[in-house]
Structure 1
Amino acid sequence: MPVSRNGAGKSTLLKSIASHYLLDGGQILIDQVSIDEDRRLRTQIFYLDEDHLFFKNLTLLQIGRFYQQAYSQFDENQMTTLLAQYRLPLKQNYRQLSKGMRGLFNIILAISSHARYILLDEPFDGLDVIIRKNVIRLLLDQVGEQQFSLLITSHNLAELEPLIDRTLILKDRTISHDYRLETLRQTARKLQLVLKTNE
């Protein structure tokens, strides 16, 4: 999970991996194979750029069927089941959803794609506590079942602790630190200080 302040390059990193941006240099590799050499690898990556959505006037069902054309493993039954579970109407237009409901739908769409790599850019930004808990619970359930990998950007590490096992710290558009959380937990030490009062 990349963590950094705003403007450090988190969104640019995801858009580059998803081929929304052309690279000035370097390569994006999956299992040591460049996605430019084998374009089928791009169907293993799911990224939804909310800044440039072209389907805001479509219904949730229409959006799902559009993505079904791009992802051969897309599971429409799973999508409709999850939408019903979270009370999102199939025939409602995307633009009519609240920000929280849009975030929840985007996660459902990503999960239903059955892509091996799901890229989420600040997925909990602006969500209320209840929706955030629903989204985290949904992701935890599906990661266990489907065994896909999540790459989540955030500037708030605390809210993602239940989901992540590795953290990359970005600074000035460069990875400055790479932490394995299990290693950190094993080496962490708790200190308790007792200070004198000014009595």
Structure 2
Amino acid sequence: MTVTLTNLTKRIGRKEVVTDISFTWRPGEITGLVGRNGAGKTTLFRTMMLQYIPDSGTIQINDQTVTPNTNFTQSIFFVDSQDNFFGNSPLAEIASWFTLVYPQFSLDSFWQEIDHFKIPRESRWSGLSKGMQATILMALALASNVPYIILDEPFSGLDVIAREQVTQMIIDAAAEHHTAFLISSHDLEELDGISDRVLILKDHHILHDYMLEELREEAKKIQVVFRHNEVPAAIKKEGTLIRVTGQVLEIVFLHYDETIEKALQDAQPVFMEDLPLTLTDIFRTTAVHDTDYLLGKEVYEK
């Protein structure tokens, strides 16, 4: 089973909030959706769930187009931490609602997760901490037994323990049940640790679609000090400067090759060291405009 978006576009008023979004989401795949505030992440999720009707484009599950008359709740669960209707409802009532919507919902599995994290069964939603609420949302999603789960900012506002709990639930579900996740988050460190793939959303469309393992095989991040601050032309052309500390430059190359290697050797830098490449580095390299991120730009323009 696959979920395929083709040229999905949604306008709110006269403004296009997501534009020509196309990608295929596969079983067992943990995909991070990364973008700045206002890029359209939440609108994309709500359009995928037909909470917003697309202005153009299609959503298909196993080559079947999803429409407002399609029952696709057996396939996708959307955890919207920003907007729900739970109020002061007790957990038992919340769980019962989901049994009506999701045919495969397992009350036993839900209560097992609640007990595992020592959340009192008699709790009411409004009386719970944000961390407990996040854990319950994940428990509801997993108990629905759907193959695809969308998470919108699941780590927002959580303490370290709660983040670890939610992260482990995601990893276990992907590994043991081949559940696929599509996760937006401002916490790029958390996404970096669990994502197989990352979609970078900018200006309301997908700018890049990376398989992280493949990207790291051909990309490189270095810190370097050049003699007299003279940066070779090939380095300026192929690399992206992401940080300057004194004379030390941190540069990311998304496609590191022999030409770049030779340019660095010929320059005989005073100091050079490889650094781990993170998702934050990739985001800065591909999604942040020059006018937003000017660190050390004058060095590169010499």
Establish whether TM, by shorter chain, passes 0.5.
Answer: yes
* Pairing 1:85–2:116 present: yes
Counterpart CA distance in 2 for 1:37 and 1:93 is 32
Secondary structure (helix, strand or coil) at the match of 1:52 reads coil
Aligned-pair CA distance for 1:155: 2.6
Q: Which amino acid aligns with 1:166?
A: R
Gaps (5+ residues) in structure 1?
Answer: none
Which residue does the alignment assign to 1:69?
A: 100
Provide TM-score, normalisation by structure 2. Answer: 0.62
> Which of 201, 219, 224 matches 1:170?
201
User: Which of 56, 79, 87 is 1:48 aligned to?
Assistant: 79
Q: Residue 171 of structure 2 is aligned with which of 130, 140, 143?
A: 140
- The higher-RCO structure (CA 8 Å, 6+ apart) is 1
Q: TM-score, normalised by structure 1?
A: 0.92
8 A Cα contact 1:18 1:42, kept in partner: no
Identity of aligned residues (%): 38
The count of residues paired between Structure 1 and Structure 2 equals 198
- Aligned-partner Cα distance in 1 for 2:117–2:171: 16
Tell me which residue corresponds to 2:284.
none
Partner of 2:269: none
Higher share in strand: 2
Determine helix, strand or coil for the equivalent of 2:220.
coil
SS of residue in 1 equivalent to 2:71: helix
What is the Cα deviation at residue 194 of structure 1?
A: 5.2
C-alpha distance in structure 1 between counterparts of 2:108 and 2:60, whole Å: 31
Deviation at 1:91, TM superposition (A): 1.4
Determine if contact 1:120/1:153 at 8 Å carries over to the other structure. yes
- The amino acid across from 1:69 in the alignment is L
Report deviation, 1:36: 1.1
Residues 3 and 156, structure 1, Cα contact 8 Å, conserved in 2: no
Report the Cα distance in structure 2 between the residues aligned to 1:190 and 1:137, rounded to whole angstroms. Answer: 29
Q: Which amino acid aligns with 2:94?
A: I
Partners of 2:187 and 2:111 in 1: how far apart?
Answer: 31
Unaligned 5+ runs, structure 2: 1-31, 228-245, 248-302
Contact 1:35 1:42 in 2 (8 A): no
> Residue 109 of structure 1 aligns with which residue?
140
Q: Secondary structure at the residue paired with 2:157? A: coil
The residue identity in structure 2 corresponding to 1:97 is L
Runs of 4+ with deviation above 4 angstroms: 194-198
